[in-house]
Structures are given as C-alpha cells and as structure tokens.
Amino acid sequence: MLKAICVFCASSSKVDPIYLEASRELADVCVTYGIHALYGGGAVGLMGAFANRMLECNGKITGIIPHFMRELEWAHTDVTEMVFVDDMRERKKRLIENVDAVVALPGGIGTLEELLEVSTLKQLGKFDKPIVIVNTNGFYNTLLSFINELIDKQFMHSHNRSMWTLVSTPSELIHVVTDSAMWDASLINKGAS
C-alpha cells in the first residue's frame, strides 16, 4: 500500500506549462489515494504547483528545506508541515526516509542529482523502494539514452535498467508501484559484469 512518497521536481517557473500540469496531476493522485507527499519545500515552479494543488485539495504534504533556502525566502509559506534542515545532504536523506516510493518529475540539475543519488543508493542496496520517473513529453529520454550507453559500454550492469519504472503521466503511479517487483539487493555483487 502506498502511504507516502518523495517527490523530486523543478523549482523553475519558466518551463512549459505541460510540466506544471504534470505536477498538479501528481498532487491529484496523492489526494485521491490519501498519499502523504514529501517534497523539497519550494514555493515556485513544479514544486510550487505541486504544493499549491495539494493544499487546495487538503492533501497531506511535508516540505523539507535547508535553512539557507528559508533565508532566501524560497520556502513555501503555506505548507504548515515544513521541516528545516542544516544542508542539502540532510534534506535528501530526510526526503527518502520512510517513504514507499520516490517519484521524479521533470527538473533541473538539483532534481537530476537527487534522482541519481537515490538510484545509486538503490544500486548499492541501501534503498529498495520503487523509483518512478515521470517522463512528461519525453523529458527524460536523453538521460535514459545516456544510461543505456553506460550499460552498453559496461559501466553499469544491464539489470540496473530495472531500478526505475518509467511512466508518461502521473496517473500511472499507483498501478506501477503496486505491480513493481521488490529490488534484489543481492544484485550489488554483480557490479558492471
């Protein structure tokens, strides 16, 4: 059962509206299924659109944001459950603690870093929950192509392709998480062989 998810997404507001709509659609899924969402605590971009929809629909949302971002006034002021942490490392750790899945919406370098870190933890057997990549409008095609190149060139084992589940829309989340197989942490011993 999906009780809590971590959401990684962009803080940019200058993006195509299709990406903002995907974040609102994910919020609708969370509200419909009573899923507690943990996100980066921001007030703008996909983060802001996601949080605003969660709040409008009385969804359960927790923001986790470093103190320095609060000082820059980046924290969403209407999210009542806001956790302030010392740095980005603690933020990432807290975001994935006690969640049932990680969902990556489109985003910039910060989102990519978060997605790749949790993927590395999964590869190393330190995180075994589903990772769902929402590939809105083919946003992640280039990244996935590069990962396939890493596999083709023997920098990663082919089984690592199964670390993620790719969906086109957030509405697919419940189905793919319910049907996803548990990650086999023993695969860590395979390396790139």
- What CATH number does the domain containing 171 carry? 3.40.50.450
Query: Is 187 exposed, middle or buried, given 0-12, 13-18 or 19+ CB atoms closer than 10 A?
Result: middle
What pLDDT is recorded for position 69? 85
Q: Is this model's pTM higher than 0.85 or not? A: yes
Q: What percent of the chain has pLDDT above 90? A: 80
- State which residues form the domain around 118: 4-190
* Digit-coded pLDDT (tens) for 71-109: 888 899 999 899 999 999 999 999 999 999 999 999 999
Calpha distance 150→10 (Å, rounded): 25
CB 187 within 8 A of CB 159: yes
Helix (H) or strand (E) holding 63: strand 61-66
Average pLDDT on 56-64 reads 97
Banded model confidence at residue 182, pLDDT cuts 50, 70, 90: confident
CB 36 within 8 A of CB 17: no
CB 7 within 8 A of CB 48: no
Nearest to 15 by CA among 107, 103, 104, 105: 107
185 three-class SS? helix
Banded model confidence at residue 189, pLDDT cuts 50, 70, 90: low
Which residue type is seen at 83?
A: V
* Digit-coded pLDDT (tens) for 117-168: 999 999 998 999 999 999 999 999 999 999 999 999 999 988 888 899 999 9
Token reading at 12: 């940019």
Banded model confidence at residue 1, pLDDT cuts 50, 70, 90: confident
What pLDDT is recorded for position 192? 47
The domain tally of the chain equals: 1
38 three-class SS? strand
